[in-house]
Each structure stands twice: as structure tokens, then as C-alpha cells.
Amino acid sequence: MAAKDTALALAMVSLMIHFNWNWVGLAISDDDQSLQFLSDLRGETEIQRVCLAFVIVIPVNMELYMSRAEMYNNQIETSSTNVVTIYGDTDSTLAVCFRMWVSQGIQRIWVTTSQWDVTTSKRDFTVDSFHGTLAFAHHHAEISGFKNFVQTLNPSKYTDITLAGLEWMYFSCEASTSNCKTLENCSSNVSLEWLMLQIFDMAFSDDGYDVYNAVYAMAHSLHEMLLQQAENQPINTLTALDSDCSQLCLFLQNMHFVNPAGDVINMNQKEKLQAEYGIYYIYNFPHGVGLKVKIGEFKPYFPHGQQLHLYEDWQWSRGFKLLAQHLSAFPQMPSAVCSADCPPGFRKFQQEGMAACCFDCTPCPANEISNETDMDQCLKCPDDQYANAEQNHCLRKDVTFLAFDDPLGMTLACMALCLSALTGLVLGIFVKHQDTPIVKANNLTLSYILLISFIFCFLCSLLFIGHPNSVTCILQQITYGVSFTVAVSTVLAKTITVVLAFKVTTPGRRMKWLLVSGVPNYIIPICTIIQIILCAIWLGTSPPSVDIDAHSEHGHIIIVCNKGSVTAFFSVLGYLGSLALGSFTVAFLARNLPDTFNEAKFLTFSILLFCSVWVTFLPVYHSTKGKVMVAVEVFSILASSAGLLGCIFVPKCYIILLKPERNSLQKLREKTFSRTHIS
């Protein structure tokens, strides 16, 4: 008569998943049916990622059990789980073991089947925790009239030995000395309603309901058999009807009827449907009274994910309202997990040898997030996004570059414009005073070329500021390289001019034609053409381009100009360095020329300052990233150009504007004469 529990393991695991239990214990009997349940449960737990904290297999032999009882008790008492599944025969040693655990006050959520009598006679009662039994019962209707029958029983008059034993156990009645079936001294207000809820609830008791259906199956089979015999017996025959058991068995095998509770009973085993389960929560009150409430159902033939249905208001049903009167707040369902959930921002780290449900939580690596609970792997943010501080969300990176409205960019742009204006002012002063001796003595043409190249050097730094694009990336390097080449080569030409002028004035020298023919002026185009060729090779092989740097600075996408060919870039810088070194060498050798041509001293110092700036630039440039790197390059351009401008032209402007008396041919001759006389 009993339905097969083929879906019981799935039902129990579904309930565990609903309450987020993934660390549960299991105690079963050592018999074939229980071992089959263990196999089914392991299969479902592996699929749903629920782990068994322990598996206790209670032997059938009582002596063997007693020798291991202490070990079983320690195993369940020391386990960290709050949920234990019980499955087995209620007449086995498992029942003894279970009773011992309950009597010892081990508070757990016991998940079991309805045939287990889970009420206890202990008198202590605590309502500060949610512990009790979750029982799975085969779904069937309640027998009509049975509840009212039990509720109206008078314990003092009813003499059924079963009821008498229950009343003596639960209601402290005394057995009569003359008739052990008659009870005395029972409370007049005692009702069997609470007792019925646990013992006589046919909607919950599978065993009672199976007996009920068995009686009806026998009655229907006997009725059908006798009815068939009566139909086949001749009329007016008074012979007794035969009740052969072998014939009755044939009727039982094919019996199909609807019982008074309204359930369809089919005795054909091959046509049995999967059993439905009602899920009940039982809480033990004092004196062995159990409060039982149906909290949901499990229907295995429903689609996956819809099989388990728990009532939303089950906690405040009629029975639990009574319990709630003793509670300030309804206790929460306890947790049963081996490891706490890893919150967003962390990932699970599985240690070798540990169960799948036991793990450590480790923070996500840099720029990786986990936006869900218990993620196995962190997710890397896209290149245009970055992880927030909690590492649970990717934020869009800010696009950054050395902009004109940025304080650093604005400062550098103002410096470039001011220095360009200052250079233009110096050029104007030289044009206005071009007929004065000090301007003529410094080669007016080369001075104009040098000042104009300085203006381009200052202005080309503006190409490094603002949103980079393909055109500006190419122009900034080419303009910078060519402008500085013109400036440095002009300084070299001025230095050579000073040396030649001194050599020409020395008696017996025949180098005047070099100075008159303007040979030093050819240095500028020759050096510039060489630099242009290097730049052309640079553009032809691997030109500068826009580069999006999403990794150098956290939370920002830096847009810079990629230099393209690093070799070509350093070739341009190296060529400028060689020109500067040549200019410094020539100027240093000519530093002791007469005062009339003392420009060599200023040229020496200016080239020394120029070289110092760019030697410092190289390590600083490679140690910075993003817009700071661009700012370093712009500052180096401005500083080196300003150094050349200041060292070469500021002393001359000082004499022109503030010491005009020294800017005369007579003064120059006096200086020359005095130096020659002293020599």
C-alpha cells in the first residue's frame, strides 16, 4: 500500500536549497532501503552542490550499535551543521539513537519522513530558537469525521488500550487497579486535540492512511468477489458464498477505487504515479505535545524549479499564532553552511582536500570584480572601465590628456606664449637697433634666424597640449625636431663665426675669405637637411600615432601620442645632442677671445644649460606616464629654449636698453685697445 519514495531525495534537497542549506548531516539505518536513499541523496546533492557534513550509518545489531554509540553522539554533537536528515525504519536501532539525541537536548532541524514519532516527553521548553522537525508526508486528504471523533473522546470512559497508554503518557492519568484499561484522576478539561494533531492526524500519518486504504481495498475486493459469485450463482440457491483467499488476491491486484477521502487508490503497481509530498513543521511543546503545521508541498511531476511550493504565510498559521504569543519576534530559520557566503568583491578559494561547500573568500585581483555572491572567478573589467574600491562594480574610466583647461596644461601654454612674445620683443629690439655696434658684432642675420627659430620652438610646445590626433602627433615631433635643429645649428654657426672673426684679425692669417664668403651660414641648411632626412625616415617607417593608455593610471584612460619608432625618436634626439656637443666644444675653445668678441662665453654657458636640461629629461621622461610625461617633454622644450634665449640675448638687450653708452664703436675700440695694451 505504501508509495515508493523515489522523489524523496529530490524533495529534501529542494527544501535545503530553498533555505540555503548546503552543509547537512545524514543518519540512516544499515539496510537496503536506507542505502538506496543514501545513493539517491548523494546524486541530488552533487547536482545541487549540497555537501554532507557527515554520514552516520546505524547498524541493525543493537550490541554493535551500543559499542559505537558514543562515537555517533560525538559525531553529531561536534558537527557544525544545524540540519540533520533522518531516514530509516522506525523499529530499527536508528530510532533508539534518534531518541537519545533528542532526549539529550541536541537542538537541530531534523528532516525526516512522517512515520517517525518526533514528539518528546521532555518538560523543558525553549522558544528562543527555531529547532524542530521538517517532515515529508505523502500527500493525501484528511479522513472525514475522524478529527471530530478524536476531539470528542472522553479519556476517563474510553477503554481502548492504545488510547489508555497515550493518555497515561501525555496527560498523567492513573491506571485503575481493577482494570488497567480504565484511567483515573485525569483532568476534566483535558482534550485529545493536541494529541490528535501528532498521533491521529491521518492527513500526516502515512502508516495510518495506508492501513485505512488497505481496509478499504480489502472491503472493495471482497465486495467485488462476492458480488461476482452472487451473479454467477443460480437463482433460489441458498448455498453460502465462498471467500477463497486466492480469488481475493486476484481482485486486489486489479482493484481501482476512490476512497471516502476522495483520493484515487490504484492497486496496480505498474500504473502508480509519483508520490506527492506535504511538508510539515513540528515543534515540540512540553509534555510531549507537538505543534504541527503544513508549510508547503512538493510535486515531482511539475517542471523543474516549480516542484517545491512553500506557503508564504505558514509562519503565522493558526498553530503558529499560538506560538507567537510567547515570542516577541518569530525566530529565524537557522543557517546550515560550511562557509559563509563570499560577498561581492570576493571570490571562492577552494583548498585542496576540503568539501565543495567549504572554502575561503579572497578579494578579487586588481581591476577585477565579482558582482554576485559566491562567485568562483572574478570578472576582468573592460579596458575602458575600472573596478571600484569595493570591487563589485566596473566604472567607466575618465578620458584624460594634457588639456588646455587643465592647470598644468594652462600653465605650460601660458609659459609658451609668454616666452614667444618675449622672443618677439627681443627680435624687435634687434631690428630697431640693427645699426648699433653690438648688434652688428653678433652677426645680424644669424641672430634673426636664431630668434625666429626660438619662436617656433616655443610655439611647437602648444602642439603637445590638447586632445591628441594623428596630425598633431606627427607635427609636434617633426616641428620640434626641425626647429631645435635650426636653433642649435645657428648657435654652432655663430660660434664658428666668432672663432673665424678672431682668426681673421690675427696678423699673418689668410682666412678672411671663409668669413667673407659666409661659409658658416651653410652650416644651418646642411644640418637642417640631415634632420629632415631623419624625420622623413621616421615618418616612412613607423610614424607617431595616437595611443590610448588604459593601464598606466587607475581609473583613467590616457590619450597620448605614441612615438612610433623609438629608434627614430632617439636618433633625432641624438642628432640634436651631437650638434649641441659640437657647439659646446667650439665655444669652450673660444672662451678666452678678446672682449670685443666675448659672445663665445655666453654661447658656452647656453649650450651647457641646454645639454643639462636634456640629459635630465631622459631619465625623468622614462619614469613618468600619461600627461605628466608629456608635460615633462614640454617643460624641457621651454626650459632649453629659454636657456639659450636668456644666455645669448639677455646680456645684449641689457646693454642696448639699460647701458646705451657701452653700445658705441668708441667703447668697443677702447676695450680692444686696453686689452691689447695689457697683453
Which residue ranges form the domains of the chain, and what is each CATH number?
1-139+275-335 (3.40.50.2300), 346-396 (no CATH), 422-678 (1.20.1070)
Distance CA 72, CA 90 (A): 18
Output the pLDDT for position 341.
84
Number of helices (H), then strands (E), in the chain: 20, 21
Q: State the cell numbers at 674.
A: 686696453
Q: State the cell numbers at 475.
A: 607635427
Output the pLDDT for position 502.
65
Mean pLDDT of 473-477: 86
Mean pLDDT of 173-179: 46
Among 125-139, 273-287, 334-348, 413-427, the minimum mean pLDDT is found in 125-139
Distance CA 457, CA 461 (A): 7
Residue pLDDT, tens place only, 74-94? 888 888 888 999 998 877 888
At 360, the amino acid letter reads D
Contact 16, 50 (CB under 8 A): yes
Q: What is the per-residue burial (b if ≥16 Cβ within 10 Å, else e) of 14-41?
A: bbbbeeebbbbbbbbbbbeebeebbebb
Output the pLDDT for position 197.
47
Nearest to 293 by CA among 310, 271, 306: 310
Beta bridge partners, 347, equal: 362
Highest mean pLDDT among 518-522, 548-552, 608-612, 636-640: 636-640
- How many Cα atoms are found within 13 Å in the side-chain-facing hemisphere of 73? 16
Output the pLDDT for position 398.
86
Output the pLDDT for position 25.
93
Q: State the cell numbers at 136.
A: 515529508
Output the pLDDT for position 589.
75
Mean pLDDT of 278-283: 82
Within a 10 A sphere around the Cβ of 370, how many other Cβ atoms?
Answer: 24
Mean pLDDT of 576-594: 77
Output the pLDDT for position 675.
44
Higher pLDDT, 597 or 312: 312
Mean pLDDT of 631-658: 86
Output the pLDDT for position 240.
52
Strands 368-369 and 379-380: antiparallel
Output the pLDDT for position 415.
93
Nearest to 160 by CA among 185, 144, 192, 183: 183
Residue pLDDT, tens place only, 30-72? 988 889 999 999 999 888 888 899 999 999 888 888 888 889 8
Mean pLDDT of 123-149: 66
Output the pLDDT for position 270.
59
Q: What are phi and psi of 571, to 5 degrees?
A: -70, -40
Residue 187 has pLDDT above 60, yes or no: no
Beta strands in 187-320 (DSSP E): 256-258, 264-266, 277-284, 290-298, 308-310
Q: Which residues contact 62 (CB under 8 A, 6 or more apart)?
A: 93, 96
Residue 160, judged by CB atoms within 10 A of its CB (0-12, 13-18, 19+), counts as: exposed
Q: State the cell numbers at 199.
A: 498521533
Output the pLDDT for position 420.
94
Contact 561, 546 (CB under 8 A): yes
Highest mean pLDDT among 132-136, 415-419, 468-472, 578-582: 415-419
Beta bridge partners, 284, equal: 290
Higher pLDDT, 191 or 291: 291
Write down the residue that cell numbers 630668434 correspond to: 451
Q: State the cell numbers at 23.
A: 552543509
Among 266-280, 316-330, 458-472, the minimum mean pLDDT is found in 316-330
CA distances from 78 to 103, 160, 341 (A): 17, 44, 22
Write down the residue that cell numbers 506560538 correspond to: 323
The model's confidence at residue 344, banded by pLDDT at 50, 70 and 90, is: very high
Percent of the chain having pLDDT more than 90? 12
The model's confidence at residue 152, banded by pLDDT at 50, 70 and 90, is: low
Output the pLDDT for position 674.
46
Output the pLDDT for position 364.
92
Mean pLDDT of the chain: 77
Among 53-62, 240-249, 278-287, 380-389, the minimum mean pLDDT is found in 240-249
Percent of the chain having pLDDT more than 70? 73
C-alpha distance across the termini of the chain, in Å: 137
Which pTM value belongs to this model?
Answer: 0.56
Output the pLDDT for position 363.
92
Q: State the cell numbers at 394.
A: 566596473
Output the pLDDT for position 613.
83
Distance CA 324, CA 329 (A): 7
Distance CA 44, CA 12 (A): 9
Mean pLDDT of 394-398: 88
Strands 51-58 and 23-29: parallel
Longest distance between any two alpha carbons in the chain, whole Å: 176
Among 135-149, 213-227, 425-439, the minimum mean pLDDT is found in 135-149
Mean pLDDT of 230-236: 67
Residue pLDDT, tens place only, 659-678? 877 776 665 555 544 444 43
Residue 271 has pLDDT above 90, yes or no: no
Q: Please, what sign has the CA dihedral across residues 141, 143, 145, 147? A: negative
Residue pLDDT, tens place only, 422-443? 999 999 998 988 888 877 776 7
Q: What is the CA radius of gyration of the chain?
A: 52
Residue pLDDT, tens place only, 533-543? 998 999 888 88
Run of H or E including 579: helix 566-589
Among 230-234, 296-300, 490-494, 675-679, the minimum mean pLDDT is found in 675-679
Q: Which residues contact 303 (CB under 8 A, 6 or more apart)?
A: none
Residue 244, judged by CB atoms within 10 A of its CB (0-12, 13-18, 19+), counts as: exposed
Mean pLDDT of 6-10: 88
Contact 612, 520 (CB under 8 A): no
